[in-house]
Structure 1
Amino acid sequence: MSVAYKLGDLVWAKMKGFSPWPGRVAVPTPELKPLKKATNIQCIYFFGTNNYAWIEEHNIKPYHEHKEQLIKSSKTAAFKEAVAQIEEYIEHPEKFGDLDEHVRNPEEDFDKLKSEGTEEENTSDEKPAEEEAATPEVKKKSSTPKIRLGISKVKSAKRSSSASIKATPRKKAKPLSRSFTDCDLANEKPSMLNHSFSKKSSLLHRPSNILRPETPPLDLENVSETLLEKNIKASQMKFGFLGLGIMGGGIVKNLLNSGHKVLVWNRTGAKCKDFEKVGATIAVTPCDVVEEADITFSCVADPQAAKEMVFGNCGVLHCPSLEGKGYVEMTSIDADTSHDIVEAISGKGGRYLEAQIQGSKTQAEEGTLIILAAGDRTLFDDCQSCFKAMSKNSFYLGSEIGNASKMNSVLQVVGGVSLAALAEGLALADRAGLSQADLLDVLALTPLASPHLILKGRAMIESSYSTHQPLTHMQKDLKLALGLGDALEQSLPLTATTNEIFKHAKRLGYANHDVAAVYIRARF
């Protein structure tokens, strides 16, 4: 049974990639273009973010009727604040003033804009509705009505001359109180939308918390086409794996799907259960993994976590004997940490290889990573069937420990600086009133074209920050590169600046978002 929504109705509205969010049926701002030939849509004002979007009615539910069910759909601070704000609005609407103050007659303009969105025909100089996006323009593949996102922008995109609000000077927006006390702008919570800001905006208007879409679960039973094409003959040795995170999970999936025997351990034990269902064996401690496996891989968060796997309680060194056993460190670490680990492993008769990985979650799942290895050559050779399952190429950089870590740091410098430059370029284009989508289309045809940069650029302009490579990991790698530069007395001014940009993005709350979220820091 459909619900007839009217101006002012309180609702739950769901945007693609986000949990249902508390909102209010509202009159769209001048920057939110009327939709052409779109039916069953509503303009929703989102509490906690002060933003507007077109939402299809099948993604809208009455607030009070579904409150008990949907109030548990997210546990983020931004979501809780939005719920608190709508509840405050229910009790004290006078504190919010007129949410539709950007039009002269809300009821009249609300009906007129909805009518325009369903009746207005495309003109010869306009793009079809299914190819048109709000700010910035982003082409979509689907022909179904699209969600339009938009917030205030001084120099807005061209709008239809039939829009009734065009000739209405917009009043200066009154800031909403976030906590409904005397909250200053510096303490504002971030917003879940992305683009366009006033040229007069202050740095105190912090970019808002763009919600991070949930990372799709790993499909362990689906064997990638890339893996099937490799025709791998699995080694008969038994392999251990420490860490089932964003990268580790995809790697282990390919090891299992290629026929390898794998013993797994993860700090959060619940993650191991899914892998057990598809053939992995679960161990209680890292020490147990090393004791039972011939070769053990470690892929954890950072150098400190890598050391804990070896030196910590129930760590590798607690194994009664490491004689002949192999230990492969895949965590992104610095050369000094690698030296500490190799001394401990070799001191007990074990073999050590550092095998740094280049790639993201997608490459880990597809088995198309790049492996940079240094250390024991015999161990590198013994790992070839595994490396073939998890990567498209593996490089042996010599027996000197630290070579792989250093090479990885150099590559991360290039990647990090490039992403920061792309983010600044997109922000500059947006500030200049240019289409960011056009910028990427042009970039793709230039010598600067890179599939990775184009992919991350799309994520930036679509506010799609589902984590493929955590922003915090990039910042960590930049910090390691700076440490290497200090040790070698090599000046790295661009790396230092880029590191500060990523640090700031982390401080704004985007550490666990995808690395593309550095754009949020660049755009203000």
Structure 2
Amino acid sequence: MDFDLKIGDLVWAKMKTFSPWPARIVEPGPNTPTKTGRKEMQWVYFFGTKNYAWIENTNIKPYAEFKEKNISSNKASNTAPFKKAINEIEEFRAKLLEDPNYELPLPVTRTPSKEKNDPDKKFNKLISPKKSTKKSPNTLKVSKSIFNKKGTGTEAAPVKRQNSDASSTKNSTPSVKRSRGSPRFNENGISDVGTEILNRPSILEAPDSPAVDLNTFSELLKTKDILASDLTFGFIGLGTIGMGIVKNLINSGHKVNLYNRTLKKCEDFKTQADSDTNKVGLVNTYITPCDVMQNSDIVFNCVSDPYNAKENVVGNCGITKVGDHLEGKGYVEMTSIDPQTSKDMCEIIKSKGGRYLEAQVQGSKNEADEGSLVVLAAGDKSLFVDCQSCFKAMGKTAFFLGNVGYATKTNLILQLMKGVALVGLAEGLSLADRCGISSKDVLNIFNLTNLACGYLSNKADLIIKKEFKHVEQAIKHMQKDMQLALDLSDQLKQPLLMTSTANEVYKHARRLGYDDYDSSCVYMRTRH
């Protein structure tokens, strides 16, 4: 440490496991707890939380010098308490400029009250919250005789509820436990700062929904020689992937019936299609999956998860509600789901005379927009053949893998590989940052090695630019696929140690409030 610390300094103070926090070094008061350990420490006041703590000198940095760095890299930077702390310290700095003798009004530190924090009295209040003159048989009483200095009371003392390390002498001090539900901070600042940061969801702006634009043709689609099928295709689900697929189906001349929970997306497609003389009549919209199936020869379903996929089949107004049979109709499941759900839906469709195909897609929003997805199909071979023109419009290749279940399993295997690799990339960039090495330099070197691939290079670029609102695959969908892969491994008793660990990292990132952001935001968990 190349700077001196003195009373009154504005600093960044860091407690173990927590991010640096705006603080001021203050004079210890008469009720200040005795510092522990032999290391040099300072008694600091935390802005925003109005809390105090002893902090080691090595964990204290000058406020002004490290302001920009700590605000930009702080994992709590989007939380209300952190913003409040920054506002308070900046207001104090402004007042110091006006009046160098200005003193910050500090809350008085108090010695914890034995009566207030006595665990037995807290327990008694819980089991008998209302004051009453009647004695409750459940109330635990402590006989004064057991606190006799000599420990020889004449009365029979009831058993006292106490901690295992409690002494039987009068001078024993009960252990002070903090109420779990209280929003205030302990004087040492350790317990509640962590609770506040971890339990309060991040205040994040929702990523912008991609706009529909049928006038943007991908260069790859222009090079494809596609003869659109005469069949009418239904499409359910206009999410990140679905919108790109539908755009390419329409631009390649396919007739498409649309349904989405947000009907406006369907209407936007129809409005743009009808405004183009070459696309008039190609798009129709419906208000239920059942209507889409009734008016289509083949229906694609591309939604968020197995539950919603199954709801579109057997739920209220699902595709199976068109009547007693689905003769001549086909159903293609493009949702990333588990093999058992796919098999269940296959049996339902086949029982009504329909054909079933699982067509899992590998790729992200960019590939969907460009028409360069990889399609993994399994199920009815004749349905696979009937969908060839559609697969050609949406992807660069399509594989037929055999019986139902093989495509979903292959997709989950590829997803777990991507998920584990992305966590490794994020941890590597986090370590580089901690070492003071430029992330851009690391990426430039990475791209020159045989480690480089389009997927990881693109994710590294998003991480360095912090463009997590540019959603190619939402982190909630990535973590969902990781969990489905783990569920599959449980059935087969196949250990997946790295996948299990990576899945926990994704879950923690989601807990920070990044559900709808790009999966590259897992970096925020590894970095902070």
TM-score tier, shorter chain, comes to 0.5 to 0.7
The equivalent residue for 2:420 is 417
Mapped contact 1:207–1:521 kept (Cα < 8 A): no
Look up the SS of the partner of 1:278 in the other structure: helix
388, 397, 400: which one pairs with 1:396? Answer: 400
The equivalent residue for 1:459 is 462
Distance 1:208 1:434, change over 3 A: farther
Distance 1:292 1:433, change over 3 A: same
Superposed counterparts of 1:204-283, under 5 Å = 211=205, 213-279=207-273, 280-283=283-286
Shift of 1:421: 0.3
| Distance (Å, rounded) in 2 between the aligned partners of 1:253 and 1:416 | 28
Task: Answer yes or no: is 1:297 the counterpart of 2:305.
Answer: no
Unaligned regions of 5+ residues in structure 1, if any? 1-26, 34-42, 52-77, 108-179, 190-203
Q: Deviations over 1:368-421 (max 9, x none)?
A: 1110000001100000000010011111111x1100000001101110000000
The equivalent residue for 1:448 is 451
| Distance (Å, rounded) in 1 between the aligned partners of 2:223 and 2:216 | 14
Distance 1:416 1:100, change over 3 A: farther
Mapped contact 1:213–1:464 kept (Cα < 8 A): no
Mapped contact 1:354–1:404 kept (Cα < 8 A): yes
Distance 1:106 1:214, change over 3 A: farther
Distance 1:214 1:491, change over 3 A: same
282, 286, 290: which one pairs with 1:287? Answer: 290
Q: Which moved more, 1:454-463 or 1:335-344?
A: 454-463
Structure scoring higher RCO (CA < 8 A, sep ≥ 6) equals: 1
Distance 1:231 1:367, change over 3 A: same
Q: Deviations over 1:446-470 (max 9, x none)?
A: 1111111011011112111121100
Mapped contact 2:201–2:513 kept (Cα < 8 A): no
The equivalent residue for 1:185 is 193
Tell me the TM-score normalised to structure 2 length.
0.64
The equivalent residue for 1:20 is none
Q: Which moved more, 1:277-286 or 1:262-271?
A: 277-286
The equivalent residue for 1:152 is none
One-letter code aligned to 2:193: L
The equivalent residue for 2:315 is 312
The percent of aligned pairs where both chains have the same amino acid is: 48
Distance 1:326 1:237, change over 3 A: same
The equivalent residue for 1:378 is 382
| Distance (Å, rounded) in 1 between the aligned partners of 2:289 and 2:495 | 39
| Distance (Å, rounded) in 2 between the aligned partners of 1:253 and 1:221 | 9
One-letter code aligned to 2:229: S
Task: Answer yes or no: is 1:518 the counterpart of 2:522.
Answer: yes
Tell me the TM-score normalised to structure 1 length.
0.65
Task: Answer yes or no: is 1:325 the counterpart of 2:360.
Answer: no
341, 359, 372: which one pairs with 1:337? Answer: 341
| Distance (Å, rounded) in 2 between the aligned partners of 1:368 and 1:84 | 43
Distance 1:231 1:97, change over 3 A: same
Indicate the structure (1 or 2) with the bigger Cα radius of gyration.
2
Shift of 1:278: 3.1
| Distance (Å, rounded) in 1 between the aligned partners of 2:76 and 2:326 | 59
Task: Answer yes or no: is 1:493 the counterpart of 2:497.
Answer: yes
Shift of 1:32: 7.6
One-letter code aligned to 2:239: G
Look up the SS of the partner of 1:264 in the other structure: strand
| Distance (Å, rounded) in 1 between the aligned partners of 2:429 and 2:202 | 17
358, 364, 372: which one pairs with 2:362? Answer: 358
Distance 1:290 1:209, change over 3 A: same
Superposed counterparts of 1:87-166, under 5 Å = 98-99=92-93
| Distance (Å, rounded) in 1 between the aligned partners of 2:248 and 2:67 | 45
Look up the SS of the partner of 2:356 in the other structure: strand
Shift of 1:85: 5.2
One-letter code aligned to 1:259: G
Q: Deviations over 1:466-497 (max 9, x none)?
A: 21100000100001111111111111111111
The equivalent residue for 1:509 is 513
Task: Answer yes or no: is 1:407 the counterpart of 2:410.
Answer: yes
| Distance (Å, rounded) in 2 between the aligned partners of 1:455 and 1:518 | 14
One-letter code aligned to 2:441: D
Mapped contact 2:204–2:513 kept (Cα < 8 A): no
Distance 1:209 1:425, change over 3 A: farther
One-letter code aligned to 1:234: A
Unaligned regions of 5+ residues in structure 2, if any? 1-61, 100-182, 274-282
| Distance (Å, rounded) in 1 between the aligned partners of 2:285 and 2:468 | 32
Mapped contact 1:482–1:492 kept (Cα < 8 A): yes
| Distance (Å, rounded) in 2 between the aligned partners of 1:30 and 1:395 | 57
Distance 1:509 1:50, change over 3 A: closer
One-letter code aligned to 2:271: K
Look up the SS of the partner of 1:98 in the other structure: helix
473, 483, 488: which one pairs with 1:484? Answer: 488
Mapped contact 1:240–1:296 kept (Cα < 8 A): yes
The equivalent residue for 2:17 is none
One-letter code aligned to 1:335: P
| Distance (Å, rounded) in 2 between the aligned partners of 1:85 and 1:436 | 30
The equivalent residue for 1:23 is none
The equivalent residue for 2:31 is none
Shift of 1:214: 2.3
One-letter code aligned to 1:268: T
Look up the SS of the partner of 2:211 in the other structure: coil
Q: Deviations over 1:273-310 (max 9, x none)?
A: 10111332001210111111000000000000001000
Shift of 1:98: 2.6
Mapped contact 2:371–2:396 kept (Cα < 8 A): yes
The equivalent residue for 1:38 is none
| Distance (Å, rounded) in 1 between the aligned partners of 2:251 and 2:98 | 59
Shift of 1:181: 7.1
Shift of 1:217: 2.0
One-letter code aligned to 2:500: A
Look up the SS of the partner of 2:420 in the other structure: helix
| Distance (Å, rounded) in 2 between the aligned partners of 1:418 and 1:311 | 36
| Distance (Å, rounded) in 2 between the aligned partners of 1:100 and 1:436 | 35
